[in-house]
Structure 1
């Protein structure tokens, strides 16, 4: 019964992934064509703004997309700027800020839509930031598994919030359920899933202990982390993170956390080590 359930889930996941990848490929190709048309006459011109004005405007940058077709700068006021250049040498953002506005866009949690209807997704089906995004939601992207999109509580909930202050692997403890009929299909599915979670979370704990990272099982809904520049973020673990159902986060003190997959073999050890260094 357990194997049948797992196989069914895997098949459904594969079908969903293929559809998502196809949609993302079509959307990306469409956006690249529009980008080429819009910025082919654009060029980086220096001298329009003072250094002080540039530094001030950098705070207004929402997203930066850099690909072979050129670079797109999405401003928080809805303006789109761009240039037919994809290297990021020097003060690249500062130079892009001095190009003319060529379009508008609408901003959503997990994607943007240009004024021609072109869509660019921020994340893949596994919660990874797309490799062409260099700035997302005003955050510099240093790791594709970096947590960028999440839900915070509207007000503080101290009794349901875990404050994470040291480097550790945080594993979300699943909700405990009870059933009147423990032989029902629903109950059997739940117990099978719990068996899987228990096994893989234990293997993942061993995996990180070998890296010198302590695992921590959190039973609280919200997690608060102190990240760069003393800023704090609070994440609702019952909601999607980077448009993905996350089960674990890795936190290095003072850094924005990254997504970790429950199955140890789904993680890249070198990628994790780079984050921890």
Structure 2
């Protein structure tokens, strides 16, 4: 099982992001041996996150081996032609390390500030996903062609982010390259149900993202209805990672509050211990 991290959302000293922090953060994640670097997507919640595609392009220039993914990009918030241009550009910059995680969105504030209809988000998601794929394949859509470059024709691998009860788990397995589930606002039981359903439908790559990491915290409850996190001591974190591997997840994406070398090193030790029998 691979373990990655979301790009830092604050500077390493806890202050606001400074110029260079994204590149340095990505380089640190790679240097500590993590497998992937991810960016979240939120625009209307009272705090500023870096634009996900821009952030990953920056991360690509500071790294050489890690995969770089959006986890997840909310398709209904953007016009599909404009988004296809940005995705193709990011794919061109990042190359075959790029993973495009997409979803319908679940926070109404993001829709309010972008002037899009929250109630229609699932229908809009399906439409935009279809148009995006066709444009990246070089097709004509509504009489218009994106004109994608040869090196990005076909687009990057697409992983579908969805809650466990959504029909999109089956679509992710059948039509796309993977499923992204959330460790936050869910439970061990629901994640187990989701990955079982994904595998039964023939799904390939399963990612659990938004797994909060605080290895200085006292272990909280880890019952079947508790959220999935690594807010615990090192030994318990090893057990929880092994549990996710036993459920069948291919990737875990953690969220660190502060990307200090000490915090990154401690988590890297946990990952290595979890991989050892």
Query: TM tier, shorter chain?
Result: under 0.3
What TM-score do the two structures reach when normalised by structure 1? Answer: 0.22
Q: Which structure is larger by alpha-carbon Rg, 1 or 2?
A: 1
Larger strand proportion of the pair = 1
